[in-house]
Structure 1
Amino acid sequence: MKSLVNTLSTSLIAAAVLAAPAAFAGQSPVADGVKKALGDSKVNLNFRARFENVDQDGIKEDANALTLKSRITAKTGAYNGFSLGVEVDNVTELVNNYNSTRNGETKYPVVADPEGTDVNQAYIQYKGDKATFTAGRQRILHSGQRFVGGVGWRQNEQTYDGYRLVYQASDAFSLDYSYVYNINKIFGPRGASADDDGEFHLANAVYKINKDHKLSAFAYLLEYEYSYAKSTTTYGLQYNGNFGPVIANASYAQQSDRDDNPNDFDADYFNLELGSTLGPVKVLAGYELLGSDNGIGFSTPLATLHKFQGFADKFLATPGDGIEDIYFTAKTKVSGIKLSATYHNFSADKGSRDWGSEIDLVAAYAIDKNYKVLLKFASYDADDHATDTDKLWLQVTAKF
C-alpha cells in the first residue's frame, strides 16, 4: 500500500505540474500547449477472457478457472517533452474452481490469477532527443524478459515502482538503467505476496555491431528487504546474430549472493540457440543451463518465467541442483493460424538426475485487428522433479 501511495502521489504531483500553467495563463502559449497535450491523449481498452484447466498428479481435483481481465490505459500527449500515463486492471473470477494463491482453495491446483483491481501503471515521463526518463509505476521489459519482465501471460501483470532512464547515445548504442524500490507481483493487488520491497538496480546496454549482429551487457543487483535469500548480483553478456539463413543467440551470466543473503554461492547461466527456416516451417534448437553451487540454483525472480522451461510452469524456482533444458521448437502458419510445437528435456546440472520432459502446443488466430483467439496445451512428464501435469488454455482477446 505504501508503494502505491508513493506512486500515486508522484503522478498527482506530475499532473498538477502539467496542468497548473493552464490554470494561470489564460489563453497563453503555455495554456495552448497543455490543452493540446490533453487533446492528444489516447485511451485504450483491453479485455482478455481465459479458461484454464489444470490436471496435476497428487491433487485429486482438477482446476477450472474462467477469468476476465479488463484494462483501461490512458496516456496524455506531450507538453515540452512531458506526458502522463495511467493504466488500471481488473481481474474477475467467472468460474473459480482453482487455487488463486489467495482464495484458500487449496484442494485445487494453482492458477495464479487472483481477483482484484490494481493500478498497473501510473507515471510521468519526459522524452528528449536522446533520453527518456520515467518516474512512477511502470512496465520494464529487458531483452526477451529472461531476467527482467512483466509476466504478461498472467492476468495481473508484474510492474515496477521506481525510476528509469533510457539513453539512445547513437543508432548503434543504447543504455537502459532503472532504480526500483518495489515490485508489484502477479499475486496482488492484496495479500502478503503482492509486493516485494527493496533496492533493485537493473541495467542493460546494447551495441548494434551492424544490422545482423548485436551485443548486450547487463547487470542486475537485487536487494530484497524481507526475502533475503533472493538477494543476488548478476552480470552477463548476450549476443544475437544472423548468418544468412541461420539465426544464433548466446548468453552467459554469473550470479552470486548479495547483501543479507544467508547463502554463499557462485552459479553460472548459459544459453545457446540456433534457428533457421525450412520451407514454411521455422525451426529452433536450444540449450539452457541454470547452474548450481553449494545447493543453490541460479535464479531469475524478475523474469517472465512462463516463457521459459515449459508452459506447465514446473520450474518457476530453480532446483537446488540446477537445471539443464534441451529444447526444440517448430513454427508454421496454416490458413492464417499460427502453430507452434516445443519439446523440452530437463535434467540436473549437478548429479545425474532427470527432472522430466514436456510438450507445448499453441494455435493462435487473429480474427481481425481487434480480436484474437488462442488455444494452448502443455504436458509435463515428471521423473525426479514435481508431478505429471497437463494444462489447457482457451483465450479470447479484444482490444479497442
Structure 2
Amino acid sequence: MARPFTFTAISIFALFATGAAEAQNIIADGKAGLDLRYRLELVDQDGFNKNAAASTLLTKMWYKTGDLKGFSAYVEATNTTVVGKETYNNTVNGNITRPVVADPDITELNQAYLMFKQEFVTVKAGRQGINLDNQRFIGTVGFRQNDQTYDGVLASFSAGKDLTASYGYIWNVNRIFGNDHPAGDFDTNTQIFNVTYSGLPFGKLTAYGYLLDMNDAGAFGLSSSTLGIRFAGGTKVTDKVKLGYELEYASQSDYKDNPADYTADYWGAILSASSSGFTAQLGYELLGSDDGISFKTPLATLHKFNGWADKFLATPGAGLEDAYASVAYKVGGEGPLKGMLLKAVYHDFSSDVGDTSYGSEIDLLVSKKINKYLTASVKAAFYNADGFGADTDKVWLTLAAKF
C-alpha cells in the first residue's frame, strides 16, 4: 500500500519546512534503538512425520525524532532471518511436510508515522502498531517475529486525566505472514471506537465498537460489527493480598459484505489473587456461535488467548468455551534468581453449541531478565486433542536484547 509512505513523505516535509535550524534540533533531539530477539521454536504435531524446528533472529531498528510544535515522526524497520536450516513451514516456503511456524524470512518497513501530540489530543497517521485494552480485538501479535501493523489514522482525545476517547480508521492490515502470502494483507475500511473511564476507585470501564469492513473476497466472512463493554480493576484485601478482576461482554453481527447472517456473543471473566510474589488466577472465555457461525477476532493478538499452542486462532463454527486456571511466582529478595518468573496454565476447551469436548492444554513459562539489556525465557505448550485438532507439543527458547 502506498498511503503510509505518503504520510512519511508528508511528515518529513512538515518537520523540515519550518527551517533548517529547527530541523537540525529535532534530529539532534531524536532517539534511536535496536532490538534483537533470537528464538528456537520446536513443534511436534500429530499428523506430520517430521517435526518443525524454526531458528530465527529478529532485528528491529527504530528512530524517533524530537518534538517540533507537537509534531514528531517515527520509523521502524524489521528483519527476520533464518539461522541454519529452514526446517519448518513458514506458510510461504512450501515446506508442507512439517508443522507451521508463522515466522517467515522477511524484511519490512514495520512502522512509519507522523504524530501530533498536545495536552488533550494525540494523532498518529501512517503505518503503526495498535494495541487496545488487553488486545483481544485489536493487537500487534507481538509474540511472533513479524508484527501485525495497521495503515491508518488513530486519534485519541482526553477530557481530564480519567476519560479518553479514541477513533481510528484503518485501510490496510499488514499481517504477520508478510506480503508474499496471499492473505498477508487485509484491505479494509475498518473503524475503531474506544472510550475509557478510569476515575472509578475500583477499576477502569471501557466501551468499544469495532466495525471491520473487509474488501478482499476471501475475507468477506470476517466483516463484522462488534459492540462491547469491559471492566477491569483490583483492590487490596490486606497489606499483602490483592484481588484482581475483569469482566467483559460483546455482541458481534455480520457487517457490510459478509454473506452470513448471524449474531454471536462474547464473554470474558478473570478473578485473581496475589500475595508475596504468588499470583493465582481463574478465567473463563466464551466465543459464541449462531447456527454454525462463530464469534471472530481476526485482528487480535491471538497467541495471548486460548492456549499458547495456537490451536484456536480461528474460532470453530460451534464456538469455543475456554475455562482456565494459572499459578505464577516471581522470585523476590536478593540473589541471582531475583525477578525470575515461573508460570503454569491449564486450559479446558469445549464447544459453545453441542457440548463437545475439544481438548485440554498445559502451558509452562520460565522467564528471567538477566540485566537491563537481556531477557531469556523457556516456554512450552502441550495440547491434548479430544474432539478438535491434533495433539501438539511446542517449546520456545528465546533470548532478547534491547539497546
TM-score range, shorter chain: over 0.9
Offset, 1:211: 4.2
TM-score, normalised by the number of residues in structure 2: 0.95
Q: Please give the per-residue CA displacement for 1:39-75, whole angstroms capped at 9, x wherever unaligned.
A: 1111100110000000000111000010010010111
Offset, 1:189: 3.5
Maintained 8 Å contact 1:116/1:189: no
Offset, 1:17: 2.1
Pairing of 1:106-125 with structure 2 (within 5 A): 106-125=96-115
Question: In the alignment, what sits opposite 2:168?
Answer: 178
Pairing of 1:155-166 with structure 2 (within 5 A): 155-166=145-156
Distance 2:193 2:137 in 1: 11
Opposite residue 231 of structure 2, the aligned amino acid is: Y
Offset, 1:338: 0.6
Offset, 1:153: 0.4
What is the root-mean-square deviation of aligned Cα atoms in Å? Answer: 1.0
Opposite residue 347 of structure 2, the aligned amino acid is: H
Offset, 1:304: 0.3
Pairing of 1:289-328 with structure 2 (within 5 A): 289-328=286-325
* 1:47 equivalent among 36, 46, 61: 36
1:64 matched to 2:53: yes
What secondary structure does 2:315 align onto? Answer: coil
1:77 matched to 2:66: yes
Distance 1:57 1:252 in 2: 35
1:347 matched to 2:350: yes
Q: How many residues align?
A: 389
Question: In the alignment, what sits opposite 2:252?
Answer: 255
Maintained 8 Å contact 2:91/2:181: no
Maintained 8 Å contact 1:358/1:378: yes
Offset, 1:33: 2.8
Distance 1:158 1:189 in 2: 12
Pairing of 1:100-111 with structure 2 (within 5 A): 100-111=90-101
Offset, 1:278: 4.2
Listed as ranges, the gaps of 5+ residues in structure 1 are 23-30
Pairing of 1:1-400 with structure 2 (within 5 A): 3=1, 5-22=2-19, 31-94=20-83, 95-226=85-216, 227-244=219-236, 245-334=242-331, 335-336=337-338, 337-400=340-403
What secondary structure does 1:21 align onto? Answer: coil
Distance 2:160 2:114 in 1: 24
Q: Which is worse superposed, 49-58 or 333-342?
A: 333-342
Distance 1:280 1:50 in 2: 28
Distance 1:211 1:201 in 2: 31
Q: Please give the per-residue CA displacement for 1:207-229, whole angstroms capped at 9, x wherever unaligned.
A: 11334311100100000001100
Opposite residue 190 of structure 1, the aligned amino acid is: D
Opposite residue 364 of structure 1, the aligned amino acid is: S
Distance 1:280 1:86 in 2: 38
In the TM superposition, structure 1's runs of 4+ consecutive aligned residues that sit over 6 Å from their partners are none
Maintained 8 Å contact 1:117/1:189: no
**Identical pairs, percent:** 43
Opposite residue 180 of structure 1, the aligned amino acid is: I
What secondary structure does 2:36 align onto? Answer: strand
Offset, 1:139: 0.7
Distance 1:355 1:108 in 2: 23
Opposite residue 383 of structure 2, the aligned amino acid is: Y
Maintained 8 Å contact 2:16/2:22: no
Distance 1:213 1:305 in 2: 25
